[in-house]
Amino acid sequence: MKHKLPPLDSLKAFEAAARHLSFSLAADELCITKGAVSYQIRKLEENIDCSLFKRSIRQVYLTDAGQKLLQTTSRIFSEMEQTITELAHTDDELRVSVAASTYVALRWLSPRIAAFNEQYPDVSIVFSHSVNSGDFKLQDVDIAMRWCRCDDRDNRHHITEMPLPLYPVCSPGLLSKIKPALIKAKLKKSVFASPEFEAFPLLCEDRRLDLWQHWYGEKLPPLTNPRRLITDANVRTQAAIDGQGWTMADALMHPELENGSLIAPFEHQLEGYGYALMASPGRHMNHKVKALRDWLMRDLV
């Protein structure tokens, strides 16, 4: 059915000018000139053959016809905005935003997301990998997987936690430079402070949190090994494989330990760290977000 309606631009200019009783304010709202507002309203009046405004030098007033048209345009624009918002929200219902580092995404999340999408093919997973950056905001995503201390039970944003003990690993080649016989041994952590070990770099993510000293013993003499800062966990892992130094590993590095590219010669592990599945504060958790949350929790609890 063909509608005999005036151009939308004219109706928008009229509605804004009638609401403000000002062509200037309408122009500011619509980001056009005052002359353009006046032109659109004049076209509208010509189109419907009816005067909508009474004009004076400094003020405009609505005619009876203008009052009636304002009521109709305001109602229709409001209903149209609500409908468009609902349609956009429906589209959002099919999109779930997930924040995780590339390390966690590759080694833990990816196969689980693949299995999830087989059952929920209409859900689009949007990844963000800035979860460890300084400007990351949890409220910008639906779900996050973040490395943290796993003894903070008072954190209301933690849905559940996956504790993963940390332990030193290095390449077989690096350890053989110290003593080849150590490759097959399980060592005491006290050996790490020996002269044989102290020259080798310790790869770390954050100088403010010395996990190496925490693992060795915070009350023991400081480890004198040089620290090498590599913030990306995947790059840090590869650096260890290439023999650049020792790195802290968790269970997500099992493939490298299994294929022998890294070895874990020490028996002592650092407890209390791992990953938390986190829910965004203030965001509506629709049924798709809940479905993904529950899917991931099956392997976390």
pLDDT > 90? residue 82: no
Q: What is the pLDDT of residue 168?
A: 95
With cut-offs at 50, 70 and 90, classify the pLDDT of residue 128.
Answer: confident
> Quick one: pLDDT at residue 244?
95
d(CA 171, CA 149): 27
Kindly state the average pLDDT of the residues 259-276: 92
CA-based nearest residue to 262, from 182, 175, 158, 141: 175
Spatial contact of 281 and 151, defined as CB atoms under 8 Å apart:
no
Report the alpha-carbon distance of residue 116 to residue 110 in Å, rounded.
10
Percent of the chain with pLDDT over 70: 90
Residue 174: left (phi > 0), alpha (psi -120 to 50), or beta?
alpha
Residue 259, pLDDT above cutoff 90: yes
pLDDT digit string, tens, across residues 142-172: 889 988 888 755 576 788 889 999 999 999 9
Average pLDDT for 84-106: 75
Provide mean pLDDT across the span 103-111: 92
- pLDDT score for 282: 67
DSSP β-bridge partners for residue 187 = 266
For residues 257 and 251, the answer to whether their CB atoms sit within 8 Å is no
- Out of 69-73, 97-101, 164-168, 206-210, pick the least confident: 206-210
For residue 89, the model assigns a pLDDT of: 55
* pLDDT confidence band for 231 (50 / 70 / 90): confident
Most confident of 90-104, 124-138, 253-267: 253-267
CA 94/CA 80 separation, integer angstroms:
22
Task: Spell out the domains of the chain, with CATH numbers in brackets.
Answer: 8-91 (1.10.10.10), 93-165+274-297 (3.40.190.10), 167-270 (3.40.190.10)
Is the per-residue pLDDT at 197 higher than 60?
A: yes
- Say if residue 248's pLDDT is above 60: yes
pLDDT(57) > 60: yes
Question: What is the overall mean pLDDT for the chain?
Answer: 86
